[in-house]
Homo-oligomer: A and B are copies of this chain.
Amino acid sequence: MPLITFQPGGQTIDLPRGSDLLEAARQAGVEIDFPCGGKGTCGKCIVRIVSGDVDSNSLGVLSAATVSEGYVLACRTKILDTPVRVEVQEPIGREGGKFSDELDDIQLIRHELLPEDYQYDPLALKWVVQVPPPQADHGLSDIDRLTRTIQKEWGKTEVVYSLSVLRSTADLLRQENGQVTITLIRTPQRNHIIDIEPGDRTTRHYGISVDVGTTTIAVQLVFLPLAKIIATRTAYNDQIECGLDVISRINYAQKPGHLQELRVRVLRTINRLIKQVCSGHGVLPSEICNGVIAGNTTMVHLLLGLNPEYIRLEPYTPTLLEAPYLSAEEVGIEINPQSWIYIAPCVGSYVGGDITSGLLCTDLATPTDQVNLFIDVGTNGELVIGNQDFLLTCACSAGPAFEGGGIDHGMRAAVGAIERVEIDAVTGQAVCQVIGNVRPRGICGSGMISLLANLFVNGWIDAAGKLDRSRPSMAIDTSERIARYIIVPPEQSANGKAITLSEIDIDNIIRAKAAIYSACALLLEKVGLQFSDLQSIYIAGGFGRFLDIEKAMIIGLVPDLPREKYRYIGNSSLMGAYMVLVSQEFRQHQLNLARRMTYIELSTEANYMNHYTGALFLPHTERSAFPTVHAFLASTSNKA
């Protein structure tokens, strides 16, 4: 007899008396968020006990009134007597895995970011060699002859063979008159022979570039002989169920077995995406012989099964920044087991390989006096400022809002996502642009920015993000405790339910944008520069196919600067991983950049909180910081 039943999903689980309700939900496959890692501080894991006996210690975080209605924090509740019936909120904005494949192929790479004169020189090469037959009295083994043939072409660099290659060499050297295709991974120290095949197989040569984000994972399949991207797939990171941001994941990892679980979850997501990019293109995962993975420092640790705890504790020290040579088999990536999994170098605890990869797509990677700024908005926001003389970097906790996380109807930039919203100044109703021109399923980052800016410009929300309850509008629903803006009424959405943005959602977005903006301000302060000293500002992230910079400025996500200084470069982490995959030159360049960067830990910067608090308004508490925006707002309200 199942003890615990979750509504509305109907999932059941049978657990002993005294079990944690949060753990029960996890085991039952019910998604409950707990960004604080189950410490009872964030209040996100609120559920309602419909019936049954529980022991809960939720007062203090929840009000007495709320508790009296049966609400508890799942993380502070134990099951006492059964059956227990629990009502959970509808899962917050995520539909990971629920979209069918063919809907989900948004092109994230911008080929125009690739330098025109780059040197095609992939980490993994396939190369046909003609190995002379064995001869009596020459005293050379099969491997000796193969090594000599390789060294004739590639110099006297040490040649290293995997055992699986050694096992097939003898037969293959005798199969097609000594003609074999070897797969070669060249590092500065040695050449690794990771595969050997009979005859000429150079046209079956694939690599993958992977962006492992806290919230979203993207995998690209690359046909290496032409450096051509032939498929891209993204999905939510299966780790999301264990916490929404890196701190929650690190906390989650502390319990026995949880680090391994997190590792399995991220590998499961990556390997599922690999299968997806391969199927339909006639490629077997085993034909992929190289992978480049870019991820933040915590994601790298979780992927490799390294204890991330010390990333979170002062003085914030990761186990490693540069990973050693690791094979796909060791890491757990399901491609050719001997493939090199190259992990993009990290800079500090909260600035990782996603940033060093992203930098490759910007002018910060080229020798120039001009000071440029790079902002990558993910679940964490990371920033780099600098030129040829210095590179300063820091990270801030933005939260997953712009990727759809923590927002009731948020979603990734995939088919069905609202990517732009205009507001009728009179009725307050929304006119939406949807990716794929289908019925909308939710709203992605670029849509949120567009919506929030337009609501603000038209006065439907105030500078604190509160909806205007004084002006009647069909689009504003004040029937529940928390007011909501109805973006799409039920009859127009894909699933027959309204798509809304609540005041809590708006607050989340404002906190996210404030975190980013204040980190920009602090970084400039550190180097004694003004916003106006910046030559270019590169914005990367999973907002969507485009980012309306004017709107981002209106909400105060980015500083008030001339539009032409901005460049939205999308998922630059994935693009950078691709660049490293196809050229040793970029790999070396990235390593040099990573080693040159100076990392600033924001949590020890006293002034950061002042900047942040000032930024918790639209666009900012300091009007003078956003002169253009205020001038525009004034002109709009004059017109209205």
Contacts and interface: CB of A to CB of B under 8 A. Distances in A.
Interface of A: 134-137, 139-144, 158, 160-161, 163, 166-167, 169-171, 174, 189-190, 304-307, 309-310, 314-321, 324-326, 330-331, 347-348, 598-599, 601, 604
Given A134-B317, A136-B316, A189-B190, 19 more contacts: A136-B314, A136-B315, A137-B601, A139-B598, A141-B321, A142-B310, A142-B318, A143-B319, A143-B320, A158-B189, A161-B324, A166-B304, A166-B324, A167-B304, A167-B305, A167-B307, A170-B306, A170-B317, A189-B189
Contacts of A167: 304-307
A318 B599 contact: no
B310 A174 contact: yes
Which of A141, A167, A321 counts the most B-chain CB atoms under 10 A from its CB?
A141
A599 B139 contact: yes
A126 B133 CA distance: 44
Rank and list the top 3 A-B pairs by shortest CB-CB distance, nearest first.
A134-B317, A136-B315, A143-B320
Contact of A144 (B134, B307, B321): B321
B318 A141 contact: yes
24 contacts: A134-B315, A135-B315, A136-B314, A136-B315, A136-B316, A136-B601, A137-B315, A137-B601, A139-B599, A141-B319, A141-B320, A142-B317, A143-B321, A144-B321, A160-B324, A163-B326, A166-B306, A166-B324, A167-B305, A170-B310, A170-B317, A170-B319, A171-B307, A174-B310
Contacts of A158: 189
Contacts of A143: 319-321
B136 A304 contact: no
Given A189-B158, A309-B170, A139 B348 contact: yes
A161 to B, nearest CB: 5
Which of A317, A318, A347 counts the most B-chain CB atoms under 10 A from its CB?
A317
Contacts of A140: 317
A305 B164 CA distance: 9
B136 A320 contact: no
A306 B347 CA distance: 43
A316 B347 CA distance: 53
Contacts of A317: 134, 140-142, 170
A604 B325 CA distance: 45
A319 B169 contact: yes
A13 to B, nearest CB: 31
A158 B160 CA distance: 16
Contacts of A348: 139
A167 B324 CA distance: 13
A309 B173 CA distance: 13
Contact of A307 (B139, B170, B189): B170
A68 to B, nearest CB: 45
Contacts of A318: 141-142
Contact of A160 (B134, B174, B306, B325): B325
A342 to B, nearest CB: 15
Contacts of A161: 324
A304 B142 contact: no
Nearest to A324: B161
Nearest to A348: B139
A495 B68 CA distance: 87
Contacts of A139: 347-348, 598-599
A391 to B, nearest CB: 12
A293 to B, nearest CB: 14
Contacts of A324: 160-161, 166
Contacts of A141: 317-321
A141 B160 CA distance: 28
Which of A163, A174, A314, A321 counts the most B-chain CB atoms under 10 A from its CB?
A163
Contacts of A306: 166-167, 170
Contacts of A599: 139
A29 to B, nearest CB: 28
A320 B134 contact: no
A139 B347 CA distance: 8
A477 to B, nearest CB: 48
Which of A137, A143, A169, A170 counts the most B-chain CB atoms under 10 A from its CB?
A170
Contacts of A160: 324-325
A331 B167 CA distance: 12
Contacts of A315: 134-137
A163 B314 contact: no
A136 B174 CA distance: 59
B319 A166 contact: yes
A202 B320 CA distance: 25
A323 to B, nearest CB: 8
A134 B160 CA distance: 35
A150 to B, nearest CB: 14
Contacts of A314: 136
A139 B391 CA distance: 14
